[in-house]
Each structure stands twice: as C-alpha cells, then as structure tokens.
Amino acid sequence: MLAVLAGVFLLLPQVYGNRSLLFTMMTFIALAQGLNLLYGFTGYLPFGYVGFFGAGAYGMSLLVLYVHVAAPLAVLGGGAAAVAAALILSPLLRLSGAYFSIANLAASQILFLIVANPSLAGVTGGPYGLNIEQAFDPTASYGAMLVIMLLACAVAVFFRNSRFGLGLRAMTLDPVSAEMAGIDIVRSRLVVWLASAAVAGLAGGSYAWDISVYYPEAVFGLQLSVFAIVFALFGGVGTVAGPILGAVLLYALYSAIGISLPQYFELLYGFLIVLLALFLPDGVLSLFQRRRSAVSARLKRRRTGVL
Amino acid sequence: MELFEYALVGGVLYGIFFSLVGIGLNLVFGVMRMINLAHGQFIMLGGFGAYVLYQDLHLNPIIGIVLAIVGAIVIGLPLYYAVVPRLQRSRDPEMLSFILFFGLAQMIEALAILVFGADQRSLPAETLGSGSISVLGQAFPDSWWVAAGVSILSILGVYLYLTRTRLGFATRAIMTNREEALATGIDVDRVSTIALIMGLALAGIAGVFVPFLLGSISPNIGTELTTSSFAIIIIGSLGRPLGTIAGGLVFGLGTMLMETYFSSWSNIVPYALLVIIVLIRPAGLFGRAVRQA
C-alpha cells in the first residue's frame, strides 16, 4: 500500500497540473496519520496538534535564517524542535481524556502567542511572519513531504503489526492488565507521543520550506488541527488506511467547494463530526470491516454446521 | 500605584463576570460528565442576541437575558434528547461527547458567520447606563458594574437552586453518583435536561455582556471563550459551581495585571494558567472532581 501511495504522488504531478493541491493533500495525509498514531493507538486526542506543526515550521525557518543550515537539514531540525516541545509538554500525558485535549490546545495557543508576539518581531517576525525565499525549491520540498508522509504511514503500519503496537492496543483496552503483563505504559505512551510530534514537526518544516513566505496563522491555525482530526476520524482511527482515505476524500471535497464557500464547508464538517460521533465512532472503514466480519462469521457457522 | 489599583478593581469586576462565563460549563460537566465544547459558541450566540435586539429592534440589550433563557430552552431540550442518551450508551461517552460538541461548535460558528457575517460588532456602552462608578479612585463604566451585578445574581440563583430546592438536591445527588441517584428513583434525564438548559442559559446571559466587557463580539470568539471557561473552572475545581468564583477572580486579576504591566502578553494568561494548573495538580483536581460536588 505504501508503494502505491508513493507511486501515485510521484506520478500525478506529471499528468495533473495543480501541484499545490497535491502538496497540501500530502501534508494532510501526514498530519492525519500523525494524529492517528497518538489518538488511534493510545486514545489521547491532541487538539493542539497544530502546535507541533508550527514548531516544526518555525524551527526549520529560524535554522535557515540564522544558522544558514541547508534546507533538508533544517527540516530535520524542525522535527527536532517539535520533539523538544513534546518533551517539555510530556507531563500533559498524566492527564486523561478531555483534560489532555484541552491542555494540549492551550499549549499550542501559548506557542502561537509567543511566536506571533509583537515584542519578538525582531526574532520570529512576530505577527508579520517569516520569509525564507532563499531556500525555495518546490521539487525538493515536494519530495521531502512525500518522504514524511510515507514515514508517517510506515510508523502506523509498524504500530499495527508489531509487538510494540500490540502492547499499545492492550493498554488502551485495559491499562492495568497491560501493566501487569509487563508493558511499560509510561514509556510506550511517551514514545508514541514523541513519534507523533516528530511527524507533525517534519511536516511543518517541509510545509514552511514549500510556501517559504508565511504568517504565523498559516502554520498555527486551529483549522489545521481540526482538519487532521476530522480526516482521521472520518476514515477510521487505529487503522493505516483510514486517515489516508479520510484526507484524500475530504480534502478533495474541500478543494472543490470549501475554498470558495468556507462557511458552508465548516457547517458540513461540523455536521459530519456530530454524525460520526453518534453513529460511526470507528469511521467509514469500520462499515466494510463490520460487514466482512459478519460474512466470515456466517461462513464459519455454515462450515461447522452450526446455525 | 494608581495603575495597580486600576488593575485590582478592574480585575475583580472582570473576574466576577468571568465566573459567570465559566459556571454554565461547570454545571453541565458536574451533572452530565460531558464537556460542552460548544460553550463559548453559546456565549457568542447570547452576544449576538443582544446585538440584534439593540440594532434591529431598538430594544435595550439587557432584554437579551430573557432571550438567552428562552433560547436555552428551545435549543437545550431537543439537544439533550437527541444526543445525550445515545452517547451515554456508547463505549466511550467522555471522548465521543467531546468530539460531538466540538462538531456542534463548528456548526454554530459557521451558521453565525452565514447569518451575521464575520465582522466584529460592538454595542454602545451607554445602553447599560452612561455614568461610571468609582472605587479606590478608579472609575469604571456602568456597563461593567451591571455585568458584575447580573453575574453575582445569576451565581446566587444557581447556589440557591442547588441548596434550597428539591430539584437542586436531585442535581447534587446525580453529581455525586449517577447510578445511586438513578437507583433512588430520581428522574435523571429530567434533572440533567434542566441542568443543560441552565448551563446554556447562563452561557447566553454571559454572552449579553461580552460586547461590553471584551469590546466587541464576532462569530469566531467562541473557542477563546471555551478555553478561558475551561481554565476558570479547573482553577476553581470542577463540579463545584461556587468554586468557579475563585477561578474567575484568579483569571480576572491575572489578566488585568498582565494587561497593565505587560500588555502584549496578556492574551497568554488563560492558556498559561490552564496548563500550569493542570500540570501542578492534575491528580488532585481530577480526583476531587470525581469524588465530591
């Protein structure tokens, strides 16, 4: 599946002209998948996920501007900045459920308000944003985002199919039993948290590289968190394909009608979220899985002769 | 020293008003164990109600209080029965309701932009009295005092409801233990519906004064208000409506002092307070919320 994804995004620019749409779609696949790593596999829903994206974008840009690092290295630096922010915020993992989500949202707002503060205009550009045109290289940044998107999906595959991932699922279902079975809950959670932040940071770095001139709102806007959450939820969290499906379908829909009519789109999104929470908490993919398991159960019954 | 006194008096008034902003969220959480993430959006609707009353019907915006109560009944009743029983049967009520109310918040915000436009709207302060009242030599406009007065009356109303009426006893019983309350024969759905309606009405009433205390109202103000409310009720401990006053005062004084001395950083206050408090006392705040109310 990863190969297919890679092939699609490598070949499409040859036949389809709207490169920025493809780039943004990859960004959202990476973000939805990165959010899925945390929410789908540990149950922590990071409302302020965009904070790591912004940290990555600013980390990358400041490295280019002040340390004059080559852009690809600076993207890695952006990822490191996000991981550093996640380490500082790791005590948030002691909170549960909605407390974690809101505290995480507040943390991302604090980062935004610091970066966009007029008092720091000399360093971070304050509300006027940053300009790293000297590093602009659309082909390279497209490639970087492709790699990051694949990386995020690969990590999700790893979580689905490894012993580590099995441990994660066990501790979401029943933390006490998981702990007794010898899973180090605190450490596993921290690893997932940092991995998830790294994905957002790297994506933020490449995003900044690609657009090269931006305001703080462009990389810290709550809308980015919202999109990532909706895309992941729509497809189905805890799976690999769910967030990809959600991001591709809904972002295509957004670019078709959302840009010209943003309010109607926000309304539609809100409604979609309400419906998902009420009727389909496991996402669209679960529809097919449910049917498949029902079918296989029926087959099994028929084979064993039990009706 | 003059500046300090200004921040002090302003902070207390602002803080009392913000207790009202937070108390509805606290009440709903205490009874339903659900976080109404659309709380700020309901406050915003209250503000636009007051705006429409003044701008289109040429009435005093204070009538918005009545409108808020009517609106809360009209919205709260169907909302409760449409989503809450279903959510409470689901596998993870806390997280799913959080997501659901988040979707609701997006819908309200989008509708508000479609109906009112995305601009900031303000109301002339004179509509709530053209004078000013001075304390410690610091004059604040009448509208601030009216807002603080209404806030105190509303919070007093909640307190009397919870401690002096049968329904209030039932409400506190549900806050303490939902299953036990159900077993004693309390009509949990009815009491919870009333709590939700009260929560929405309190949000709407707070909204009426938002154009006066925050200077203007706009459809996208909701998220900020929700986060501030959340900070306030966590400071004042969850599930205890009267604790909200303490939270509001800490928030109000903190904001006003920052605004006076480091104005460009003042908007960080609610977020910083929230993160610091949940990090210092997560277990304490969380544990207390579950055990008592």
Domain ranges of chain A: 2-304
What SS3 state is found at B132?
Answer: strand
> Residue A122: CA atoms inside 13 Å, Cβ hemisphere, count?
1
Per CB-CB distance under 8 Å, the chain A contacts of B94 are 97-98
Residue B166 has pLDDT above 60, yes or no: yes
Q: Provide mean pLDDT across the span B38-53.
A: 90
- SS3 string of A183-244? CCHHHHHHHHHHHHHHHHHHHHHHHHHHHCEECHHHHHCHHHHHHHHHHHHHHCCCCCHHHH
Share of chain B above pLDDT 90, in %: 6
Q: What average pLDDT is seen over chain A?
A: 84
Is residue B51 within 8 Å of B176, Cβ to Cβ? no
Q: For chain B, what is the radius of gyration of the CA atoms?
A: 19
Cβ contact B274–A102 (<8 Å): yes
Among B107, B274, B286, whose Cβ lies nearest the Cβ of A270?
B107
Query: What's the predicted TM-score (pTM) here?
Result: 0.82
**Residue B289 confidence (pLDDT):** 42
Residue B102 has pLDDT above 70, yes or no: yes
**Residue A297 confidence (pLDDT):** 62
**Residue B12 confidence (pLDDT):** 86
Per CB-CB distance under 8 Å, the chain B contacts of A105 are 227
Cβ contact B282–A277 (<8 Å): no
B280 has a chain A CB within 8 A of its CB: no
Is residue A53 within 8 Å of A224, Cβ to Cβ? yes
Residue A301 has pLDDT above 70, yes or no: no
**Residue A257 confidence (pLDDT):** 74
Residue A119 has pLDDT above 90, yes or no: no
**Residue A203 confidence (pLDDT):** 93
Residue B11 has pLDDT above 90, yes or no: no
CA distances from B1 to A21, B11, B132, B133 (A): 57, 15, 21, 19
Which region among A54-58, A178-182, A224-228 has the lowest average model confidence (pLDDT)?
A: A178-182
Cβ contact A106–B106 (<8 Å): no
**Residue A52 confidence (pLDDT):** 94
Q: Provide mean pLDDT across the span B261-276.
A: 80
Cβ contact A106–B274 (<8 Å): yes
Cβ contact B265–A92 (<8 Å): no
Nearest CA in chain A to B230: A102
**Residue B286 confidence (pLDDT):** 41
Fold of the domain built from segment(s) A2-304:
ABC transporter involved in vitamin B12 uptake, BtuC (1.10.3470)
**Residue A152 confidence (pLDDT):** 92
Cβ contact B110–A278 (<8 Å): no
When pLDDT is cut at 50, 70 and 90, the band that residue A290 belongs to is low
How distant is the Cα of B89 from the closest Cα of chain A, in angstroms?
Answer: 10
**Residue B239 confidence (pLDDT):** 64
Q: Provide mean pLDDT across the span B60-81.
A: 85
Is residue A29 within 8 Å of A249, Cβ to Cβ? no
Residue A241 has pLDDT above 60, yes or no: yes
Which alpha helices (DSSP H) does B90-187 contain, by range? 93-116, 142-164, 166-176, 178-183
Secondary structure E strands in chain B: 132-135, 138-141
Question: How far apart are alpha carbons B286 and A230 in whole angstroms?
Answer: 28
**Residue A117 confidence (pLDDT):** 81
B276 has a chain A CB within 8 A of its CB: no
- Among A50, A99, A237, most B C-beta atoms within 10 A, so best to mutate, is A99
When pLDDT is cut at 50, 70 and 90, the band that residue A292 belongs to is low
Looking at per-residue pLDDT, the higher value among B32 and A55 belongs to: A55
Is residue A201 within 8 Å of A52, Cβ to Cβ? yes
**Residue A139 confidence (pLDDT):** 83
**Residue A35 confidence (pLDDT):** 93
Q: What average pLDDT is seen over chain B?
A: 82
**CA proximity to B231, closest of B242, B219, B212, B244:** B244
**CA proximity to B22, closest of B205, B272, B219, B215:** B205
Cβ contact A264–B275 (<8 Å): no
**Residue B284 confidence (pLDDT):** 40
Looking at per-residue pLDDT, the higher value among B236 and A272 belongs to: A272
- ipTM of the predicted structure? 0.78
Would you give the distance in Å from CA B196 to the centre of its chain? 12
Helices B243-261 and B2-32: crossing angle in degrees, nearest 10, is: 140
**CA proximity to A79, closest of A134, A13, A126, A147:** A147
**Residue A194 confidence (pLDDT):** 94
Cβ contact B35–A271 (<8 Å): no
User: Which residue segments constitute the domains of chain B, with CATH numbers given?
Assistant: 2-117+140-291 (1.10.3470)
Q: Provide mean pLDDT across the span A22-37.
A: 91
CA distances from B289 to A91, A177, B24, B189 (A): 20, 25, 16, 21
**Residue A294 confidence (pLDDT):** 61
When pLDDT is cut at 50, 70 and 90, the band that residue B93 belongs to is confident
Q: pLDDT of B176-214, one tens digit each?
A: 878 888 888 888 888 889 989 999 999 999 988 888 888
Q: pLDDT of A92-117, one tens digit each?
A: 888 777 778 888 888 998 888 888 88
When pLDDT is cut at 50, 70 and 90, the band that residue A201 belongs to is very high
**Residue B293 confidence (pLDDT):** 28
Residues 15 through 74 of chain B touching chain A, CB cutoff 8 Å: 35
Q: Provide mean pLDDT across the span A190-203.
A: 94
Nearest CA in chain A to B106: A270
Q: pLDDT of B214-238, one tens digit each?
A: 888 888 888 888 888 888 887 776 6
B235 has a chain A CB within 8 A of its CB: no
**Residue B218 confidence (pLDDT):** 86
**Residue A28 confidence (pLDDT):** 92
**CA proximity to A48, closest of A9, A118, A101, A91:** A101
Is residue B68 within 8 Å of B49, Cβ to Cβ? yes
CA distances from A3 to A144, A153, A231 (A): 16, 11, 21
**Residue B282 confidence (pLDDT):** 55
